[in-house]
């Protein structure tokens, strides 16, 4: 069967003369499996054809879709409830056994909210059914906020609606709409439509005209305790502000700990008289520095360049203990070497024993 579209008729989805049928007579497991294998190619063709027809002829407007998601998680196309109603009418999908219920929740902060759930069974005349559930919470931005004109800012600003003032009917409507979209897209095989497929069927750039809506990223912030600990380890504010999750915090802490271990090891050797600031760094220190560079994806050639700018030291010369301490600090926050050298020399005037560059 050709993938090209033809006028919609009863024959486009299945040609009765070609369609094999599954018998109801007793069969062995092997025979039943073979029948399924025989019919699978035709079923796949019917599915692809129906899917393409629905997209190209029924839900073919940017207003039928929303790019649902967030900046952090990315966006995917999702039908809206108006598009689902069009498909419901076109395909003759039956919506049955609807149930709505409410669930009260108390958050750890003591704040209360509720969630409305709506469940229904959807049956397609083409075969198959899908049980869908939709929900909406009373703190969902869709129902718990509105936009009002601010005379001072001279623009519309977002106003949060208190929990007790959120219209219950709006929460129920949103839950039912979400259930409808989930049910119709599920029974019609349109839950996993991606951006590339829409652009291929409806024209390149189609998704550029779809509104981006949906979930709001929960803002993750570094706690005061974490910030204090990282600053104590030698982090700078810009490094902490760059952390977007707990994994980033852990990675930064490990980098700071390695750098601190390098400096402690060097100080121990120097204070014990085993070596001086100008002595070559130990193998353990060099290994730690290399590990830090690898974790930051900084090639060692950049470390050699850092040494040349700060101390005019060629790469053929061994790394000294003093240089090792500064390299460990620089690898934590690799700003331009000239900038680092200027800051270190300025600090040397106040604390020459700890920060001097030679």
Euclidean distance between CA atoms 345 and 98, whole angstroms: 74
DSSP type of residue 217 = P
Q: Please check whether residues 149 and 195 belong to one and the same domain.
A: yes
If one counts the domains in the chain, the total is 3
Whether residue 281 sits in one domain with residue 266: yes
Residues 248 and 309 in one domain: yes
What values do phi and psi take at 194, rounded to 5? -115, 175
Summarised one tens digit per residue, pLDDT across range 7-58 is 444 444 444 455 555 555 566 888 888 888 888 888 788 778 888 888 888 8
Residues 8 and 90 in one domain: no
Both 283 and 240 in one domain: the answer is yes
pLDDT of 6 higher than 50? no
Task: Kindly state the average pLDDT of the residues 258-270.
Answer: 76
CA distance 303 to 294: 11
Q: Dump pLDDT digits (tens) for 193-246.
A: 888 999 999 998 898 888 877 554 445 577 788 888 888 877 878 788 888 777
Residue 96 pairs in a beta bridge with 121
From 151, 185, 213, the end of a domain falls on 213
Based on the fold, state whether residues 91 and 201 are members of the same structural domain: yes
E-strand ranges in the chain read 65-70, 74-79, 94-106, 112-123, 129-137, 145-150, 155-160, 212-213
295-332 pLDDT, tens digit per residue, is 778 899 999 999 998 888 888 899 988 888 888 888 87
Tell me, yes or no, whether 257 and 207 share the same domain. Answer: no
266 lies in the same domain as 345: yes
* Co-location of 122 and 101 in the same domain: yes
Contact, 69 vs 46, CB < 8 A?
no
Classify residue 218: in a domain, yes or no. no
pLDDT confidence of residue 146: 73
Confidence of residue 71 (pLDDT cuts 50, 70, 90): low
Do 69 and 45 belong to one domain?
no
Domain limit, last residue, from 14, 42, 58: 58
Cα angle: 164, vertex 170, 175; to 5 degrees: 110
DSSP state of 63: G
> Is the Cβ–Cβ distance between 68 and 213 less than 8 Å?
yes
Is residue 219 domain-resident? no
- Do both 88 and 21 map to the same domain? no
Report DSSP state, residue 318.
Answer: P
Domain housing 36: 1-58
In a domain, 38, yes or no: yes
pTM for the model stands at 0.49
319 within some domain: yes
Task: Please check the confidence at residue 154 and state whether its pLDDT lies above 80.
Answer: no
- What distance lies between CA 55 and its chain's CA centroid? 26
Structure tokens at 139: 């703190």
**How far apart, in whole angstroms, are the C-alpha atoms of residue 138 and residue 45?**
43
Check whether residue 138 and residue 106 sit in a common domain.
yes
Domain end point (choices 13, 31, 58)? 58
């Amino acid at each position: 069967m050709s993938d090209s579209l033809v006028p919609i008729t009863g024959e486009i989805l299945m040609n009765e003369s070609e369609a094999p049928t599954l018998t109801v007579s007793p069969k062995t497991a092997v025979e039943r499996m073979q029948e399924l294998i025989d019919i699978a190619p035709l079923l796949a063709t019917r599915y692809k054809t129906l899917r393409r027809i629905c997209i190209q002829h029924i839900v073919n407007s940017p207003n039928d879709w929303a790019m649902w998601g967030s900046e952090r998680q990315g966006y995917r196309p999702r039908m809206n409830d108006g598009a689902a109603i069009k498909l419901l009418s076109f395909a003759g999908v039956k919506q049955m056994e609807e149930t709505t219920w409410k669930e009260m929740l108390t958050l750890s902060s003591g704040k209360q909210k509720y969630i409305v759930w709506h469940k229904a069974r959807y049956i397609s005349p083409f075969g198959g059914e899908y049980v869908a559930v939709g929900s909406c919470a009373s703190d969902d931005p869709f129902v718990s906020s509105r936009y009002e004109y601010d005379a001072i800012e001279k623009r519309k600003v977002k106003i949060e609606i208190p929990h007790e003032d959120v219209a219950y009917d709006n929460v129920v409507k949103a839950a039912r709409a979400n259930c409808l979209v989930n049910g119709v897209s599920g029974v019609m095989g349109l839950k996993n439509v991606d951006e590339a497929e829409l652009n291929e069927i409806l024209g390149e750039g189609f998704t550029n005209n779809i509104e981006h809506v949906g979930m709001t990223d929960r803002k993750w912030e570094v706690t005061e305790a974490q910030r204090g600990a990282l600053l104590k380890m030698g982090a700078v504010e810009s490094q902490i502000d760059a952390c977007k999750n707990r994994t980033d915090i852990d990675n930064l802490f490990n980098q700071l700990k390695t750098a601190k271990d390098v400096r402690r090891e060097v100080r121990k050797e120097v204070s014990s008289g085993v070596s001086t600031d100008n002595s070559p760094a130990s193998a353990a220190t060099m290994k730690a520095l290399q590990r830090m560079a690898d974790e930051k994806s900084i090639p060692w050639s950049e470390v050699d360049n850092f040494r040349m700018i700060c101390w005019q030291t060629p790469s053929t010369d061994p790394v000294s203990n003093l240089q090792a301490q500064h390299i460990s600090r620089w690898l934590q926050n690799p700003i331009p070497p000239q900038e680092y050298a200027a800051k270190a020399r300025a600090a040397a005037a106040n604390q020459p024993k700890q920060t001097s560059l030679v």
